[in-house]
Chain A
Amino acid sequence: MTTLEVDITKRLGSFSLDVSFAIERPDEIMALLGPSGCGKSMTLKCIAGIERPDSGRIVLGGRTLFDSSAHVDLPPQQRRVGYLFQSYALFPTMTVEQNVRAGAAGATREERSARAAREIAAMRLEGLEHRKPAQLSGGQQQRCAMARILASDPELILLDEPFSALDGYLRWQLELELTDVLRGFPGGAVYVSHNRDEVYRMCDTVCVLDRGRSDAKVGVRELFASPATLAAALISGCKNVSRARVAGPGLLMCDDWGVTLETSLPVSEGVTHVGIRAHYFQAHAAGDGAASAAGGNAIPCTVERVIDSTFSTIVMARTPGGASLRYECEKDAWAALGNPAQLVLVAPPQTVMPLVSAGNGETPDAITLDNTGKGGAPRA
């Protein structure tokens, strides 16, 4: 049975949201992944009943929460959907205990108190019951918010970028804790994030949201191994993208790079782009015998810039087509090449990813993203 089924549209000024996905497994953790402003939070608010979609349907475990054609629109109170807000939204004038008890399920006051005490213990908040939220650390605040949600017995939990306000070590600690909590929760969860690493580690499936439109849901491993769309490739950390057309069986003419590359991945009819991850190239100094021995898929380049990054060397190289490629390798490996001015980058056929730009009729130019900060995609 389907756990959650969402198919909604909403217009907000010039922005339009058109999202559809389903969570099939009862304890599935699904990520909504996309850049800021792509409509992720709005989608969550529609599921929780805080915002009203213009049209469509939301069904949770057989209960219709929203259906525009049947005029069903349950208030948030009746949806049984837990919502972890970015800022946790703890009631500032209440203690930890009052916060958790506020949402606790139960017929009598005693039952609710007992339920709250159980969740407080489960979230390791004992001894802090009488503190106000402002007197808690960031991690304790998040645990308190989770205790409050779990005490309310939701069927589904929505999480809105729960780590965006934190950094570094604390963020990592909280991620480990929250993963355990979500794995222990019997229902499904929708996890909103723009951080691909978090999503890769925490979620089972992922639905990429691009300018208000949702791609088909895929498994997280699949998204990073072989993204199908341009948006998915970019959000999964692919740094090199070129416009492309089919030039023969398994052959792609990469317009921005001025080369034809062979791919061993399935090529669909509507291919518009091609992507290669920055660390998948094999680099050779020009004139090196190995470069010619590698045969096809060799891209002769001129080195434009060499950037010494935290744990790797990033090389920006100009292709015959004029657009730049980004190549990333171990510092030692680059040193071993002897800092050449001319470079041959070889992309093995299994690393050449055919991509489809999902609708919108908009075809971005060759993209070389420079955001080295976010840690890069997992090197799977």
Chain B
Amino acid sequence: MDWYPLLNSMRIAAISTVVVYLLGIWLADVVARAPRVVKGILDVVLTLPLVLPPTVVGYLLLVLLGPRRPIGAWAMGAFGVRLTMTWYSAIFATVVVSFPLMYRTARGAFEGFDQSLADAGRTLGKSNTWVFWRVKMPACRQGIIAGSVLAFARALGEYGATSMVAGYTPGSTATVSTTVYQLWRTGEDGLAFQWVLVNLAISAVVLLAMNMLEARSRSARARGAVA
């Protein structure tokens, strides 16, 4: 069995999780502190990919990134880089699709954050950056980890937008999910089933990891409560 699709899926999901982590935290913090009207508008825009069909996301990405489209043509002209139908094209798709999961869980965590902790840090002379990374982020760690795991899982399973932006080229753009579809379509049921098992195993591990994290935080809280 050729393991390339698994490797490809993993690196796409990993890179996209890093991007989504940074973008999601940044925008969640901006939105959590924004005035009400701005917050409402931004929130709709940033959550949209969660409810849009992945094919619509794929279509919109092609409109922007295609070789003769504005961004695609610019990347080609400036760097000689092709943005669609390569292995990394799938990253654009997975970033957009998994972003709302990270953003919404992080925003929920930030909104539940006790602002007086930040105020205390600032009156003690600590910079806003220090307060954010040393107080706010650790206090919201559970939500942020949960968001990252969800975003990673979603990126790993992404099919619709990926298949439109990156297509299916064995040994190049093939991912686990596009491989399952391709094998089933060409009648190679046995091989398809093997990839289904791989997928099930990864999903089970992800869910298990998340439950363990949750259990650990719960027992940590319980220990903390016994003063």
A102 interface contact, C-beta 8 A: yes
Give the CA-CA distance A82 to B122 in the complex, in Å: 10
Tell me which residues across on chain A come within 8 A of B114, comparing CB atoms.
87, 89
Contacts of B178-215 to chain A: CB distance below 8 A: none
A sample of 25 cross-chain residue pairs with beta-carbon separation below 8 angstroms, ordered by A number, consists of: A76-B122, A76-B123, A77-B123, A77-B126, A77-B127, A80-B125, A82-B123, A83-B119, A83-B120, A85-B116, A85-B120, A87-B116, A89-B116, A89-B119, A90-B120, A91-B117, A91-B121, A91-B138, A93-B135, A103-B125, A134-B224, A135-B223, A135-B224, A135-B227, A152-B125
Q: For residues 100 through 148 of chain B, which have their beta carbon under 8 Å from a beta carbon of chain A?
A: 114, 116-117, 119-127, 134-135, 138-139, 141
From residue 66 to 100 of chain A, which have CB atoms closer than 8 A to chain B? 75-83, 85-87, 89-94
Interface centre among B116, B119, B120, B135 (most CB of A within 10 A): B120
Residues of B contacting A76 in the complex (Cβ-Cβ under 8 angstroms): 119, 122-123
Binding site for B on A (CB under 8 A): 45, 48-50, 75-83, 85-87, 89-94, 102-103, 105, 132, 134-137, 148-149, 152
Pick from B117, B122, B141: contact of A50, CB under 8 Å: B122
The answer to whether residues A102 and B139 also contact, given A85-B116, A134-B224 and a CB cut-off of 8 A, is no
A134 contacts B119, C-beta separation under 8 Å:
no
Question: Is A103 within 8 A of B124, CB to CB?
Answer: yes
Do the beta carbons of A79 and B123 come within 8 Å of each other?
Answer: yes
Are A92 and B122 closer than 8 Å at their CB atoms?
no
B225 at the interface (CB under 8 A from A): yes
Chain B residue contacts of A82, Cβ below 8 A? 123
Which of A83, A86, A93, A105 sits near B123, CB closer than 8 Å?
A83
**Interface SS majority for chain A:** loop
Residue among A49, A87, A89, A103 with max Cβ neighbours from chain B (10 Å): A89
What 19 additional pairs, Cβ within 8 angstroms, besides A89-B117, A102-B124? A45-B119, A49-B122, A76-B119, A79-B123, A83-B120, A85-B116, A85-B119, A86-B116, A87-B114, A89-B119, A91-B117, A91-B134, A91-B138, A94-B134, A102-B134, A103-B126, A134-B221, A135-B224, A137-B227
Inter-chain contact A102/B126, CB cutoff 8 Å: yes
B226 surroundings in chain A (CB, below 8 A): 135
Query: In the complex, what's the smallest C-beta–C-beta distance from B195 to chain A, in angstroms?
Result: 41
Min CB distance B77 to A, Å, is 45
Closest to A104 in B: B124
Question: How long is the Cα–Cα vector from A76 to B125 in the complex, in angstroms?
Answer: 7
Q: Which residues of B contact A89 (CB under 8 A)?
A: 114, 116-117, 119-120
A217 to B43, CA, bound (A): 48
In the complex, how many angstroms separate the beta carbon of B15 from the nearest chain A beta carbon? 29
> Is A92 a contact of B120 with CB atoms below 8 Å?
no
Q: Which residues of A contact B123 (CB under 8 A)?
A: 48-50, 76-77, 79, 81-83, 152
Contact between A48 and B227, CB atoms less than 8 A apart: no
Residues of A within 8 A of B116 (CB): 85-87, 89
Which of chain A's residues have a CB closer than 8 A to the CB of B134? 91, 94, 102
Per the bound structure, the CA–CA distance linking A235 and B193 in Å amounts to 77
Is A134 a contact of B139 with CB atoms below 8 Å? no
Q: Are A48 and B125 in contact (CB under 8 A)?
A: no
Ranked nearest first, the 4 interchain pairs of A and B with the lowest CB-CB distance are: A134-B224, A103-B124, A89-B120, A93-B138
Q: Is the CB of B122 within 8 A of A93?
A: no
Please name all residues of chain B whose beta carbon is closer than 8 Å to the beta carbon of A49 when the two chains form the complex.
122-123
Residues of A contacting B221 in the complex (Cβ-Cβ under 8 angstroms): 134
For residue A133, which residue of chain B has the nearest CB? B224
**B135 neighbours in A (Cβ, 8 Å):** 91, 93
Bound Cα distance from A326 to B221, whole angstroms? 49
Nearest B residue to A131 via CB reads B227
Which residues of the other chain, A, contact B224 by a CB distance below 8 angstroms? 132, 134-135
User: Could you tell me the distance between the alpha carbons of A333 and B124 in the complex, rounded to whole angstroms?
Assistant: 55
Centre residue among A80, A94, A102 by max chain B CB count within 10 A: A102
Whether the Cβ atoms of B125 and A77 lie closer than 8 Å is: yes
Whether the pair A136, B122 counts as a contact (CB closer than 8 A) is no
* A82 CA to B119 CA, complexed, in Å: 11
Check if A92 sits within 8 Å of B139, measured CB to CB. yes
CA distance in complex: A86, B119 (Å): 12
Shortest C-beta distance, A348 to chain B (Å), equals 48
What is the minimal beta-carbon distance from A92 to any residue of chain B, in angstroms?
Answer: 6
Shortest A196–chain B CB gap in Å is 25
**Shortest Cβ distance from B59 into chain A, in angstroms?**
44
Closest Cβ of chain A to B150, distance in Å, is 22
Question: Which residues does chain A contribute within 8 Å of B127, judged by CB atoms?
Answer: 77
Once bound together, how far apart are the Cα atoms of A136 and B225, in whole Å?
Answer: 9
| A86 CA / B114 CA spacing, docked (Å) | 12
